[in-house]
Amino acid sequence: MAVKTTVVIPTYWMRESAVGWMEGDAVYDHPTALDTQGTIGRAIESMKVLNNRDFQLVVIACPTADDIALLVEKKVEKIVHDSASKAGVDAEVFGPSKLAEVHRLLNKAGAGEYTDLLKLKGYSTVRNLCLYTAHLLGSDVAVLIDDDEVFEDPDFMSKAVEFIGKKIDGE
């Protein structure tokens, strides 16, 4: 039985290099400066080595500050579009504009108390978004990858889902 799989890659972006971090900005290990290309394109393009590309790719665009949110979303959309077409994968970007829509729908459904769990700032709430986007797409499996990783094993995806839904040693 084939399982519906979503690969989710969060990517963290900061102001241009000359500006750097400012008071109030989110803090991450190594966010990508807006005036660079970062590693997300390379990560996506490396997917062309995969034997199994039967998955939806979602890239979560995480700005370190609200005032650069739309710039980050547009930049990531361009990189993802270009890289996904080279790799032959179906990709979507989930950024501030889509998050605003999700929050609006949650509030409308009377579930507004959950919006604090789904944000683009903070590792834990971004990780929640990674799982939530896969859920929204009706996926059985979410495979989470960092934006600076490169796929080298052509069978990575098959190995990632190999034991999903199966019993191992009777359990």
What percentage of residues in the chain have a pLDDT greater than 70? 99
Beta bridge partners, 56, equal 6, 90
How many Å apart are CA 143 and CA 3, to the nearest integer?
12
pLDDT at 55: 96
**Strand ranges, E, within 15-86:** 32-33, 56-63
Q: Average pLDDT of the chain?
A: 95
Residue 137 vs residue 167, higher pLDDT: 137
- The count of other CB atoms within 10 Å of the CB of residue 141 is 16
Q: pLDDT tens-digit profile of 49-94?
A: 999 999 999 999 999 999 999 999 999 999 999 999 999 999 999 9
CA 90 to chain CA centroid, Å, is 13
pTM of the model: 0.93
